[in-house]
Amino acid sequence: MNGSIGAALPLPGVVVVCVDTRLPKLALRALEHCLRHVQPAAAVLFTDPAWAGVLPTGITRQPAVVESVPAYSAFMQRGLHDPVRRLAPGATHVLVVQWDGYVVDPRAWEQQLLACDYIGASWHDVAGDAGVGNGGFSLRSMRLLQALQESGLAAHHPEDLCICREHRAVLQQRYGIRFAPRSLAERFAFERTEPTKPTFGFHGMFNFDRVMSNAELDAQLRQLPDALMRGLDGHDLCVRLIERGDLATARLIVDARRRLGMRDRRTWRLRARLGWAQWRRGGHASTTAGNDR
């Protein structure tokens, strides 16, 4: 885990938003982490109006009826502009964080990020500037949110692909929307591509070990729904933990997959890798000490 990184970064023109009706407690944790590192114009959790959770000072609750993943995509394209404009009339951008989107290093912030209308982590499987980018930790301008209100721009799922691929040309040509170049996006955030330089943030639970202590990560994993523990993201986090020597935390994921009756090839490989790592630690403890984050 990163050590002390100094005072929070002032971002007076940016509103931090998280839209989550499925995992509001974890979404709130992501927002709280973000606010330890940045000082935005406002921070907003859009969630189910029936959720009774208590929000800390500095985070505003806004109702959102989002009953499916496609509904989330529609809300991100059509539902953000008006409430953000009401809450922070002078805001120029929103920083979108999902429950698994975290600030890593505020010192990596660059003012030129604010010259972009959309910037997110590069997709590892899409080449060039067209691979920008993932919406789970992304910076979007109010100009973009306003353009997305136009009836001619259909709100399709997934929302980041819809904005960055499907509507890219129209947004650029008709509205002058500026998508960040890949080189800048790679300094802003990462997802599945290993960063090679200081980076402002990340998306993806498989990166949690970069910002959480063992105890924090253990607590986080115990709150995750089964679907996440059995999915690819849970698998990839487990691989990272084994590689780092965080075997007790890795075992939480392996045990969850066993409890769920998973017998797929990936799960068997995880069990074998964990068993091998534990055997090596038992026989060669001096070379396999865990990583104290």
Please state the domain extents for the chain: 9-203, 214-284
Residues with Cβ within 8 Å of 129's Cβ and at least 6 positions away in sequence, in order, are 179, 180, 181, 182
Q: pLDDT of 238-247, one tens digit each?
A: 999 999 999 9
Give per-residue pLDDT as tens, 183-224. 999 999 999 999 999 999 999 999 999 999 999 999 999 999
Enter the DSSP assignment of 11.
E
What's the CA gap between 217 and 120, in Å, rounded?
A: 24
d(CA 38, CA 103): 9
- In terms of C-beta density within 10 A (0-12 exposed, 13-18 middle, 19 or more buried), how is residue 128 classed? exposed
pLDDT at 290: 44
Mean pLDDT for 152-157 is: 92
Give me the sign of the Cα torsion angle 106, 108, 112, 113. Answer: negative
**pLDDT tens-digit readout, 68-127:** 999 999 999 999 999 999 999 999 999 999 999 999 999 999 999 999 999 999 998 888
β-pairing, 9-19 vs 38-47, is parallel
Residues 6+ apart with CB under 8 A from 36: 8
Q: What pLDDT is recorded for position 125?
A: 84
CA distance 32 to 29: 5
**In this predicted structure, what is the pLDDT of residue 288?**
38
What's the rounded Cα separation, in Å, for the pair 160 and 166?
Answer: 9
- Is a pLDDT exceeding 90 seen at residue 289? no
Report d(CA 161, CA 209) in Å as an integer: 27
Six token digits for residue 270: 């995880």
Q: What percent of the chain has pLDDT over 90?
A: 89
- Span 156-166, average pLDDT: 95
Tens of pLDDT along 244-286?
999 999 999 999 999 999 999 999 999 999 999 999 998 543 3
pLDDT on residue 6: 66
* Cβ neighbours for 172, distance < 8 A, ≥ 6 positions apart: 178, 179
Cα–Cα distance for residue pair 241/21, rounded to 1 Å: 29
The per-residue pLDDT for 246 is 96
Class of domain 9-203: alpha beta
Return d(Cα 241, Cα 234) in angstroms, integer: 11
Query: Which residue type occupies 243?
Result: E
**Mean pLDDT taken over the chain:** 93
**Residue 138 bridge partners (DSSP):** 96, 120
